[in-house]
Chains A and B, each alone.
Chain A
Amino acid sequence: MGLDLDLDLKRFRYARAETDVLQDIKINIRPGTVTAISGDSGSGKSTLGAILGGILPRTGLDQFEGAITVGGKHIAFSENESPRIDPSGWAQHIAFLPQDANDYLSGIRETVAEEMAFSLENRGVPRKDILTRIRAVADMLDIKHLLAQYAGTLSGGQTRIVALGALMVDNPQVLVLDEPLAGLDKNAQNMVLSAIQQLKLLGKAIVVITRNYVHGADLVDEVLKLEDGELSRFERKSLPSNQESNLDKKPAQLTGRNCSRVLLEFAGTNLGYQPSAPQIVSGFNLKIHAGECVALLGPNGIGKTTILKAAAGLLKPTTGKIRTSTFPGLLLQNPNDQLIERTVFKEVGYGLRPGTESRRQVAEVLDRLDLRGKAEMHPYELSISERKLVALASVLVHEPEILLLDEPTEGLDENAIGVLREILDVCTSKGHGVLFTSHDDSFVAHAANRTVQLNAVENAR
């Protein structure tokens, strides 16, 4: 078995775009290897993944010139010739797992096993064979315990593993995984990495698309760096050393200020959606002083978001107190929940008193967040990373003295993380307080001057 996949891409351009996203790229993918394609968001790496995965080009919309050779079969794309890919047939050779695993899952099945069976069912595979294949895949991924579970209540990490399983039951020879580790905690990351390891041993070819290839670097046979979308220069680099080891905790910037003004205080706070129901957070204590940047850590589902929401006044504590000096600004995890305007500029200025003063404020915030060039774009035409910055801008424009951020780095690319770090530095040096949740260890180490660990024992449900 095993399948060679060769891409010779001349150029790719999205429908109605003015420039090519990708140009002159050659990739050869061989069985039993792991290839990492890295680049910043906007570099076109996800586009490249989708082309390999048969999702792009959309017939009649996108322009694609080049050729894909799958197991010796040569498929040429040019201006006059655009063969229509059979998505279902393609996926049985080369499967693509998108960054948001929820997009891959049908979301209409009751149990995990049924969700994994979806593609086999559609292909009319007999029930007995479906069961055998699901069991085999579940064994390999070590998710047997999940099979009977309700598919709607999986955690982020479990969702990705289940999606990977759903993709593997088709037994594809090439697996293209877009950001398979993003937004997962350590435990879930290890689960995905061990799955990749197993697949490699089975002789599958794996393509990992990622913005930083630090995690699991020892698995990767080859790293391709995609730089600057339009130029799309491809260059092979030797494997970088693991950068995580030399991270050091940011020194507490303002050691003398521990006794300074308290901006936000939780005192014996219990939080829950109903007083009678079990509390999500109980007996929580925390003080945030002026100039402090505090990271709230802990596993998924422990109540970190609930704490932030309570601090922002969305949730009243069932017992205990929450004191705030001013009204805090909260950046929620999903920026899509708030975007309503047709341009970034209007979005950030929404709710401000109209006038030159507010226009100046908006322009200034957009500058700080490196979004000036996007001011007239529709927020939904931006990447998730940029949308998140837009949402952050609409919080910052009100100059909150307390800044609350829920998983601020999730979905952000390297540049945006740099911008975010600067913003946090400016906030703390102005004497504002910051409280954020994160799974991103390297960001926490760089940005926070204090961490608070929530764990299950204290807050047992």
Chain B
Amino acid sequence: MDRFQRLHPFTVLAVAAAVVTTTTAAGRWWLSCTVLACALIVAWSVGKSVKLVGLSSAIVLPTFASQLMIHGLASNGKFGLTQVGLQTAAELGLRTAVLVVVGLLCALIVDRHQLVAAIDLSKAPAQLGYLVAATLLLIPQLADRQRAISEAQMLRQVKFRRGPRGWFQKIRLQAVPLVLSTLEESANRAPHLAARGFPAAQSVTRLREIPDSKAQRGIRRVSGLCALLLPALLLVPNWMDFA
């Protein structure tokens, strides 16, 4: 059990949003690097730093490569490395990295069941919590189902054709049973969910308790304000210049 379990999921998200918007608005390389370092330290403190680095680099690296090509190599009718281009690419890369690393850090430290319960207890429509929960839980189940389907199809000893027809054949063997069975299941489940009172007409209660405190509510409010106001304060002077 790590200490982030004691935080309300929205507290984590609000702080993250404030950090990302402010850092992006500031656009200072040292600030971005500090934020990244802090994120890594937090991840390390809960033993998820390797995972965070792995997941983030899978997104950041291709994006950065693209930014390098677009700004570093080519610009306005010319082709070739320029100092300005490289700097632009680096700054864009840092901006993306902050969003990705902080966002993924949230996903890693927030428990999905806590998040769903928080959504349920918030003012969001009752449908939203169900949809988030069902999707997050369904994906691993569907992956299992897909394995079972490919086993069942293997037993048929089908010989695949070559080229696009074989490709289509493979997709059909996998996709059709998956779609048929999941659609049937979702249709079967619907009346029983309705019988169990979903979607709720009034506000719902939850058996699961979400840790919260006056301090956390305060932090959320301040973070929410920061997420909106700090970027404005930082950027308004620039816009004045522009105007």
A residues at B contact (CB < 8 Å) = 53-55, 87-88, 90-91, 95-96, 98, 100, 103-104, 106-110, 113-114, 117-127, 130-131, 134, 152, 166, 170, 309, 312, 314, 327, 329-330, 332, 334, 336-340, 350-351, 380, 394-395
The answer to whether A124 and B203 touch across the interface, beta carbons within 8 angstroms, is: yes
The answer to whether A339 and B196 touch across the interface, beta carbons within 8 angstroms, is: no
The answer to whether B197 and A126 touch across the interface, beta carbons within 8 angstroms, is: no
The answer to whether A103 and B188 touch across the interface, beta carbons within 8 angstroms, is: yes
By the criterion of a CB under 8 Å from any partner CB, how many residues of chain B are at the interface? 50
Report chain A residues within 8 Å CB of B165.
none
Q: Of the 9-residue stretches B36-44, B76-84, B169-177, B212-220, which lies at the interface with chain A?
A: B169-177
Q: C-beta contact mask, B120-135 vs A, less than 8 Å → 1, else 0?
A: 1000001000100110
The answer to whether B207 and A337 touch across the interface, beta carbons within 8 angstroms, is: no
15 more A-B residue pairs beyond the given contacts A114-B207, A351-B157, with a C-beta to C-beta distance below 8 A = A88-B195, A91-B197, A98-B192, A106-B130, A108-B134, A109-B133, A110-B208, A121-B200, A124-B205, A166-B196, A337-B177, A338-B149, A338-B177, A339-B177, A380-B180
B148 at the interface (CB under 8 A from A): yes
Q: Would you give the shortest CB distance from A53 to chain B, in whole angstroms?
A: 8
Q: If A108-B134, A336-B180 touch, does A312 touch B155 (CB 8 Å cutoff)?
A: yes
B3 at the interface (CB under 8 A from A): no
B162 at the interface (CB under 8 A from A): no
Which residue of B159, B181, B204 contacts A337 across the interface (Cβ within 8 Å)?
B181
The residue on B at minimum CB distance from A134 is B207
Which residue of B156, B202, B208 contacts A124 across the interface (Cβ within 8 Å)?
B202
The answer to whether A103 and B205 touch across the interface, beta carbons within 8 angstroms, is: no
Q: If A98-B192, A337-B181 touch, does A309 touch B206 (CB 8 Å cutoff)?
A: no
Sample of 21 A–B contacts (CB below 8 Å): A53-B195, A103-B185, A103-B189, A103-B192, A106-B193, A106-B196, A108-B134, A118-B197, A121-B207, A122-B198, A122-B204, A124-B203, A131-B207, A152-B137, A170-B196, A337-B149, A337-B177, A338-B149, A338-B153, A351-B158, A394-B156
Name, among A55, A100, A126, A152, the residue most crowded by chain B CB atoms within 10 Å (CB to CB): A55
CA distance A125 to B204 in the complex (A): 8
CA distance A150 to B176 in the complex (A): 30
The answer to whether A122 and B196 touch across the interface, beta carbons within 8 angstroms, is: yes
Report chain B residues within 8 Å CB of A104.
192
The residue on B at minimum CB distance from A332 is B152
The answer to whether B148 and A334 touch across the interface, beta carbons within 8 angstroms, is: yes
CA distance A395 to B152 in the complex (A): 11
Which residue of A53, A87, A340 contacts B173 across the interface (Cβ within 8 Å)?
A340
Q: Would you give the shortest CB distance from B120 to chain A, in whole angstroms?
A: 8
Which residue of B156, B192, B202, B204 contacts A351 across the interface (Cβ within 8 Å)?
B156
Report chain B residues within 8 Å CB of A332.
148, 151-152, 155
CA distance A339 to B181 in the complex (A): 9
Name, among A100, A108, A117, the residue most crowded by chain B CB atoms within 10 Å (CB to CB): A108
The residue on A at minimum CB distance from B134 is A108
The answer to whether B206 and A124 touch across the interface, beta carbons within 8 angstroms, is: no
CA distance A113 to B209 in the complex (A): 13
The residue on A at minimum CB distance from B188 is A103
The answer to whether A340 and B172 touch across the interface, beta carbons within 8 angstroms, is: yes
Q: Would you give the shortest CB distance from B156 to chain A, in whole angstroms?
A: 5
The answer to whether B113 and A110 touch across the interface, beta carbons within 8 angstroms, is: yes
B241 at the interface (CB under 8 A from A): no
B89 at the interface (CB under 8 A from A): no
Which residue of A53, A96, A127, A340 contacts B206 across the interface (Cβ within 8 Å)?
A127
